[in-house]
Amino acid sequence: MEHVTAAEYKNLTPQELWQRFKAGDELAFGELAQVHYRSLYNYGLRLTTDSERVWDAIQDLLLDLWDHRTTVGDAVFVKAYLLKSLRYKLLKTRSGPTAVDIDESTPAQLPFADSIEQQIIDSESQTEQTRLLHQLMASLSKRQQEVLYLRFYQNLDNHEIAQIMGLERQSVANLLHRTFKELRSQWSSSLLLLLLEMIRSGAN
Amino acid sequence: MINYRTYEAEDFLFDESFRQWTTETTPQTARFWEQWLVQNPDRAEVVRQAQELVRALNAHYRDDATDERLAQELAQLVGKAAERRDSETEETPVVPLSQRTWWRWAVAASVVVLLGLVARIYVNRTAKPAAYSYEYLTKNVPKAPLEEKVNTGTKAINVLLSDGSVVTLNPKSRLSYPHRFSATTRTVYLSGEAFFDVVKNPAKPFLIYANQTVTKVLGTSFLVRAYTEEKDVTVMVKTGRVSVYSLKDYEKAQQSGLRRVEGVVLTPNQQMTYNLEENRLIKAVVEKPAALVVNRPSREQEFEDAPVARVFASLERTYGVKLRFDEDAMAACLVNVSFNEENLMERLDVICQTIGASYEVLDGQIVITSKGCH
């Protein structure tokens, strides 16, 4: 294998990177991992509020892939696969006999907990819309929150979401549809309220 | 061309171009959407709503990962990956050493491994997997027929292998080995107890299959004890490095081409217990390291201006091998030498260098050729 400088890794095709990864090139591995690192971390934060645990889980997950690099299939660096693995890792390693599934009936402290959002809200200058959305989100079930997140933030299709969450594709479609409907109707009425409030305060 | 006229707010939410425009990541999309809004003024409210949602959601899903932290995590990952790969490379051949220089390398390294495969015996008649028994392995696994030495006596016997390694086989023990080792590995099968003096050759690992374990030799000499009825295997190392695997894991890895085998690398004063029932390797520190020396034959030799015939005779006794040489031709050859941890081949190398002789291993014997000394 000829030597490649760090900058040149950026110019390699996915196939070339993949071949180098298989051959034990750790820089190619890093390059492949880098693409998904932030997405993974962000998703991890939806599953647990312990950010250090998320960082650790990502390292574990990727090093597992590295250890099995000679035998793994081609689909390893596909986002949906990585997210699914991370989900499994984080929910599986949750201490104690807590639920492994995101249960609609389970109240707040499970996945999609709000502390990170809360921190952001506390620390940053928030628009009214974000605050409103935060309230709206809290009214959604955990499943709805996750589906929306995977669809919106991770930009995955229903099939991929179904794989990650262990649901039927049709269930994902239904869930998304319902979520949007709720979100939109709430959003519109909230915005209306917001508007009225602004008008009122402006009038004073 | 997508018909955006039919889009509701949530449809826009997942439109890449729309999102790019809203988050202002690409200027090209801005031109398109501004134009589109001029052409479709009736959709302005939907678009505004969608944009608000996109912004709000982005803010909602924001995380605290800084570029610095991401870079740091990535560097850590790559570092660990390289580390793991390098610890695997003992599996792959290093630079092959030429026939004439391997002994220098071995002497320079002067690594002595004492490995005791001591087992506590509990006879287990039912759960013995025949698949990995000594009998099964020696009959079915090797491609070439094996030679077997069985020690039914009360004293240890010596076996000289084709690479020059010497195995001291203790009573009630059997050793199977090929007449000539394969090109890639030196594999032997043991039932019972034996002391190995292995010629170091990193290009050709020396493997001992014994009672469901595989011991890979990275050092030079060690003791293996593994009687057939045993259920618990313990490997102890005095110095050097030895890898121990469960036979199952080792074979699986060989077949799948996996370079990393789940095993245990033992360094001085560490011991490994292999429980055959639980199929588990447990590593621990040796409690009384000195006890390891007990089973190891002492092979110290010292010669001062000694006729080479006497040195050879001593080697024959120490290693229990037959040395053939022309005593008359070498009558004038005297050597000054002392040996401690060197194996047979290393000793022969030193002696032959001194007196300008050469030797070869032929059918379990060592033939030494020399033009004599003046």
pLDDT digits (tens, 9 = 90+) for B256-313: 666 566 677 776 556 666 766 666 666 665 554 443 444 556 677 888 888 898 899 8
Ordered per-residue pLDDT tens for chain A, 204 residues:
444 455 567 777 878 888 888 888 888 899 889 889 999 999 999 998 888 999 999 999 999 999 988 888 777 778 888 999 999 999 876 544 443 344 333 333 344 544 444 444 444 445 666 777 778 888 888 889 999 899 888 888 899 999 999 999 999 999 988 888 887 777 777 666 666 665 555 444
If one compares B19 and A190, the residue with the highest pLDDT of the two is B19
CB contact under 8 A, B85 and A24: yes
To the nearest whole Å, the CA of A69 is away from the closest chain B CA by 9
Domain match, A86 and A122 both: no
**B256 contacts A153? CB cut-off 8 A:** no
CB-nearest partner of A59 from B55, B62, B76: B76
Q: Is B97 within the bounds of a domain? A: no
Together in a domain, A80 and A111: no
Which of A160, A184, A185, A191 would you mutate first to test chain B, the one with the most B CBs within 10 A? Answer: A184
Are A85 and A123 found together in one domain? no
For B319-369, how does the pLDDT look when each residue is reduced to its tens digit (9 = 90+)? 777 888 888 888 888 888 888 777 788 888 888 888 888 888 776 778 888
> B63 and A42 in contact by Cβ < 8 A?
yes
Q: A122 and A142 share a domain?
A: yes
- Judge if B285 and B330 occupy the same domain: no
B201 vs B48, more confident: B48
- Which residue from B minimizes the CA distance to A116? B63
A36 to chain B, closest Cα gap in Å: 11
Closest partner residue to B70 (CB to CB) among A37, A117, A134 is A37
Q: Report pLDDT digits (tens) over B57-69.
A: 888 888 888 888 8
The residue segments making up the domain with residue A58 are 1-98
Same domain, A43 and A65: yes
CA distances from B304 to A134, A144, B335, B336, B341 (A): 91, 89, 7, 5, 18
Q: CA-to-CA distance for A114 and A116, rounded, in angstroms?
A: 6
Where does a domain end: A79, A98, A117? A98
Domain co-membership, A70 together with A119 = no
Q: What is the pLDDT of residue B92?
A: 36
User: Domain containing A141 — which CATH number?
Assistant: 1.10.10.10
Together in a domain, B216 and B314: no
Number of domains in chain B: 4
Residues A14 and A55 in one domain: yes
Mean pLDDT score of chain B = 73
Closest chain B residue by Cα to residue A33: B74
Give how many domains chain A has, as a whole number. 2
- Enter the ipTM: 0.77
A109 to chain B, closest Cα gap in Å:
17
**Residue numbers in A near B64 (CB within 8 A):** 51, 116, 119-120
Beta carbons of A34 and B74 less than 8 Å apart:
yes
Range of the domain at B73: 64-92
- Verify that A147 and A201 share a domain, yes or no: yes
**Do A14 and A94 have their domain in common?**
yes
Q: What CATH number corresponds to the domain at position A15?
A: 1.10.1740.10
Q: What is the 3-state secondary structure (H, E, C) of chain B?
A: CCCHHHCCHHHHHCCHHHHHHHHCCCHHHHHHHHHHHHHCHHHHHHHHHHHHHHHHHHHHCCCCCCHHHHHHHHHHHHHHHHHHHHHHHHHCCCCCCCCCCHHHHHHHHCCCCCEEEECCCCCCCCCCCHHHCHHHHHHHCCCCCEEEEEECCCCCEEEECCCCCEEEECCCEEEEEECCCCCCCEEEEEEEEEEEECCCCCCCCEEEEECCEEEEECCCEEEEEECCCCCEEEEEECCCCEEEEEHHHHHHHHHHCCCCCCEEEECCCEEEEEECCCCEEEEEECCCHHHHHHHCCCCCEEEEEEEHHHHHHHHHHHHCCEEECCCCCCCCCEEEEEECCCCHHHHHHHHHHHHCCEEEEECCEEEEECCCCC
Average pLDDT (B113-124) is: 28
